Structure 1
Amino acid sequence: MTNQVIVWSMLILPWLSLFFMKKEEIRRWMPVALFTMVTNTIIIDIGVGLKLWETRVNIFPLDQMISFVYGVLPIAAMWIFKFTYGRFWLYFVIEILLSTLFIRVIHPWLHRRGIFIWLNQDFLKGIWIYVMTITHYLLIYLYGMWQDGKFARPHKNRS
């Protein structure tokens, strides 16, 4: 399999999985997916700027942004929210397990393929990658709660 097939698959295949999700669920969780895309774009861009990593294979017109930021990550967030929202500890455990898989298996595989290169291996091996990832997933969960109106004040009727 060529690297181009891999990066295109990371973009397109996850979106196709939405055919198996109800329209109401897509509408409900799409803000979480968009928030995940925006925050991951910021994280990847900061990492490129700090020379922690770089993208060497991507799809046109993306340059430094690897395609899983717009495919795998937002759609995975939608599916995870679909099955875990309202049960924070389940969400947290699932995110830790998937993050560990991503950090320890998928990232090294992308690195060996020459797609997404870690320039600072110490960051990947250290605890900071987990601190960053856990903080990010906590922000996504809080955003999902905010979108769901969990932080809204009850309105008092003035009649």
Structure 2
Amino acid sequence: MKKNKMFIILMTCLPWFSIPLLGLKTFKRFLPSSLTLVLYLIAEGRLAEKKKWWWFPFNIKPNVLGELPLIIGPFFVGSLWVLKFTYGKFNLYLLTNIIIDSLFTFLGMDWLKKIGYVTLVRLPKIQLSLIFLIKTFILYGSQFLYEKVFSSNAFK
């Protein structure tokens, strides 16, 4: 269990060391949509907990989602990076997300299960892929709406 705690800490913190490489302008530009995705993921995690889609065999703290380290680490920071390199090129964005999500679903989940971090319970991997596809559209759509509402000129 001590190894898992260290892994969870690293998984949460290491992606944040790449934030300065994004640049402040990029960070500010994509922060609102990435935060929207974080809120969605937290709500989805609560639903998944009730529906027993997946199971985290430990608690960080009572009433804290087991996937919170994934959400505030690689998912949050990863969404900033994906948007930085692909926003405005939807086909590239979609392809990039399908590749990343497929790698996570079909390889990453097996490894996370092997180390005892998470197990899919009532959710086949193909359905997990579809859930990731929904998140792909939520992230891009929220960024698109944000820039429509707050004028894309403010970011150029």
TM-score range with shorter-chain normalisation?
0.7 to 0.9
Equivalent residue in structure 2 for 1:108, among 98, 110, 114 = 110
Aligned residues: 149
Q: Which one is further off, 142-151 or 70-79?
A: 142-151
**Residues 61, 51 of structure 1: CA spacing in aligned structure 2 closer, same or farther, 3 A cutoff?**
closer
How high is the sequence identity, in percent, across the aligned residues? Answer: 23
- Deviation string for 1:58-107 (max 9, x for gaps)? 54476333211111101100000000000000000000000001101111
Q: Given that residues 60 and 66 in structure 2 are in contact (C-alpha distance below 8 angstroms), is that contact kept between their aligned partners in structure 1?
A: no
- Residue in 1 that maps onto 2:124: 124
Q: Secondary structure at the match of 2:148?
A: coil
- Residue in 1 that maps onto 2:141: 142
Q: Secondary structure at the match of 1:149?
A: helix
Q: Secondary structure at the match of 2:94?
A: helix
Q: How far is the alpha carbon of 1:57 from its aligned partner?
A: 3.6
Moved over 4 A (4+): none
- Residue in 1 that maps onto 2:154: none
Q: Given that residues 37 and 138 in structure 2 are in contact (C-alpha distance below 8 angstroms), is that contact kept between their aligned partners in structure 1?
A: no
Q: Which amino acid aligns with 1:108?
A: D
- Residue in 1 that maps onto 2:96: 94
What value does the CA root-mean-square deviation take over the aligned residues? 2.0
5+ residue gaps in structure 1?
153-159
- Residue in 1 that maps onto 2:55: 54
Greater fraction of residues in helix: 2
Higher relative contact order (CA 8 A, sep 6+): 2
Q: How far is the alpha carbon of 1:53 from its aligned partner?
A: 1.0
Q: Secondary structure at the match of 1:71?
A: helix
Structure with bigger gyration radius:
1
Q: Which one is further off, 41-50 or 90-99?
A: 41-50
1:68 aligns with 2:102: no
- Residue in 1 that maps onto 2:5: 4
